[in-house]
Structure 1
Amino acid sequence: MRLASISLYPVKSTTGHDVPVAEVEPWGLAGDRRYLITETTDAGSELLTAREEPRLLACVPVLDDGALTLTGPHADPLRVVPGTTRSTVKVHHDPVELTDCGDEAAAWLSALVGRPLRLRWMDDPTRRPVNPAYSRPDDRVSLADAYPLLLTSTASLTRLRDWITETALERGEEAPEPLPMRRFRPNLVVEGASEPFAEDEWKRVRIGEVDFRVSKGCDRCVLTTVDTAAYTKGKEPIRTLSRHRKRDGKVWFGINLIPDGVGRITQGDPVTIL
């Protein structure tokens, strides 16, 4: 097997981009999900994701030597300069202290979706522990939903695409366009797996010279149903995953990883099951 692609998502719940090389840090890939967007409400600042606001996917953040630039269809690109004001934001179940990125970034994002938003930065990625049920006491995660990295395989996506086509034809619908892997927002995609969903059984994996633990499978949410070009929600892949990949009341695709070391990984690196 080999590492087919590496993706970074600098701002949580916006569009990611592929990179040929990435540095693995204890809390994930360097630069991955260190920013998030909050909505200003009567109750204060609350995390906003593309689950609730699909137009966030029109924002494409790019890192260049550690500096973040936001690009979108509504305004000129904006280079982000974090400030010094900190506040606590609940990231799913975890209260995390984050740094505000200023009024200019807030205005840029607010204009994109049409309501008051702020951009926040995790200046210290050691603040947030991983779910203790699936980790060690010193494991940490940035602003990803729960775990440092997500891995998927091309073999599993190919099987899922076939199932989706079967589901559509059985219902008298037209066969859909092939589901893109970006719907699942993986950091790492591997090709050459022995069979679809072989990753379900992996416990440890080496990519290049970096070892990872598999914490658990990844249960999927409504974000996978958002068309990343039209910013609209559909039925797939949740409809078909519910038919073929449902257990414990959830649907599953991909696996979550925790680094057991640091180092550089490169597209094309060998992937070894340990």
Structure 2
Amino acid sequence: MLQISALYIYPIKSLGGIILNTAKVTDRGLECDRRWMLIDQNNRFISQREHPEMALLRPSIMPEGLQVTNLRNNSTLLIPYQPLTNKMVEVTVWDDTTMGQLVSSAADEWFSNALGEPCRLVYMPDNIHRPVDPDYAPDGKLTSFSDAYPFLVISQASIDDLSARAGEPIPINRFRPNIVFTGGEPYMEDGMTHFTIGAIDFYGVKICARCPIPGINQNTAQRVKEPLKTMAGYRRKNNKVYLGQNLIHNGEGSLHVGDTITVLDMKPVEVFE
């Protein structure tokens, strides 16, 4: 039996994540997931790829807003759930352009100090609709400020197998999943094209090509060789390494740790080099 073992959201793109027992599913992914994003002076997204220290900026959900703590100096910032400005700017996530609402000058100053370069914080309000790549999903499917898709699923068995191959425990937070499940064989998620959790349908549309972020220790912000070195030996194709399945969905509701995953359709798994 497949069961959800962990749920994660990443309210501010590329900052630390939050582990949940229950998460609400919205039209564009889990509630609060990647609804905020830092942008540079060219309005392009900022990530751990260039600033690994972003791993040490940890958000938490508070009644009055999102609180971010900088683990390097324990300074904190409270971000109200509603931005304090009405100004919208065009922002870039990879090849996509969409709109973001500037949050506040105080947030801009705090994050600029934390990263050592000018940046601004933007929010995606409900009336901004960013479509998923139409090459992999039907019209009308949305995502927030994620790289491309509203969900990422990884099995714990895959992480356990990777850890055994690497000869050291690999924390799952290196891979920034939304849904983690137990049961089944390692890398089963590669072939999961349709499954349900409660009344919500999920569809696997594309296995996830991994950027350098899995090679960043999320507790120290240091770049390390594993797990990318090991993955290159058995999860590589066309000079990229892969782990996890990107998802789209139909339906809204809630997910809970312990929920059963019912697989309705599988496809042949990828053949790696």
Q: What's the TM-score, normalizing by structure 2?
A: 0.91
1:245 to partner: Cα distance: 0.8
Structure 2: distance between partners of 1:200 and 1:145: 19
Deviations 1:54-94 (A, max 9, x none): 11111111233583222223354222131211110111111
Q: CA deviation at 1:46?
A: 2.4
Bigger CA drift: 75-84 or 13-22?
75-84
**Aligned partners of 2:37 and 2:243: how far apart in 1?**
24
* Match 1:246 to one of 215, 231, 236: 236
Pair 1:188 & 2:187 matched: no
The residue number in structure 1 matching 2:268 is: none
Q: Out of 99, 105, 110, which is 2:107 matched to? A: 105
- Deviations along 1:102-147, one digit per CA (max 9) or x if unpaired, are 1111111112122212111011364211011110011111011110
Taking the aligned partners of 1:45 and 1:210, their CA distance within structure 2 comes to: 35
* Residue pair 1:85, 1:100 contacting (<8 A) in 2 also: yes
- Residue 38, structure 1, aligned to residue 39, structure 2: yes
8 Å contact from structure 1 (residues 25, 259) kept in 2:
no
**Structure 1 counterpart of 2:129:** 127
The 1-side partners of 2:251 and 2:64 are apart by 21
Question: Percentage identity across aligned positions?
Answer: 33
Equivalent pair of 2:99/2:128 in contact (CA under 8 Å): no
The alignment yields a C-alpha RMSD, in angstroms, of 1.4
Matched-pair contact (CA < 8 Å) for 2:199–2:251:
no
Structure 1 counterpart of 2:188: 198
What SS does the corresponding residue of 1:163 show, helix, strand or coil?
Answer: helix
Q: 1-side partners of 2:107 and 2:155: how far apart?
A: 35
TM-fit CA distance, 1:207: 1.6
Letter in 2 for 1:143: F
* CA–CA separation in structure 1 for the residues paired with 2:204 and 2:146: 16
Q: Which structure 1 residue ranges, 4+ long, deviate > 6 Å from structure 2?
A: none
Q: 2:216 aligns with which of 226, 230, 237?
A: 226
Distance (whole Å) between structure 2 residues aligned to residue 65 and residue 21 of structure 1: 16
Aligned residue number for residue 141 of structure 1: 143
Deviation readout 1:1-20 (Å, 9 max, x if unpaired)? 11000011000000001111
Amino acid at match of 2:120: R
Structure 2 residue matching 1:46: 3-state secondary structure: coil
Distance 1:49 1:111, change over 3 A: same
Aligned partners of 2:192 and 2:141: how far apart in 1?
19
Match in the other structure for 2:52 = 54
Unaligned runs of 5+ in 2: 265-273
Counting only pairs closer than 5 Å after superposition, residues 61-72 of structure 1 correspond to structure 2 as 61-65=59-63, 67-72=65-70
Find out whether 1:258 has 2:260 as its counterpart.
no
Match of 2:153 among 151, 154, 162: 151
Q: Distance in 1 between matches of 2:64 and 2:11?
A: 10
- Is this contact kept in 2: 1:125–1:142, CA < 8 A? no
The equivalent residue for 2:29 is 28
How far apart are the structure 2 equivalents of 1:162 and 1:212?
29
Which blocks of at least 5 consecutive residues in structure 1 are unaligned?
Answer: 166-176
Residues 79 and 97 of structure 1, relative CA distance in 2, 3 Å threshold: same
Matches of 1:196 and 1:87, distance apart in 2? 43
Question: How high is the TM-score relative to the length of structure 1?
Answer: 0.90
Query: Contact (CA 8 Å) 2:36, 2:145: kept in 1 or not?
Result: yes
Report the equivalent of 1:172. Answer: none
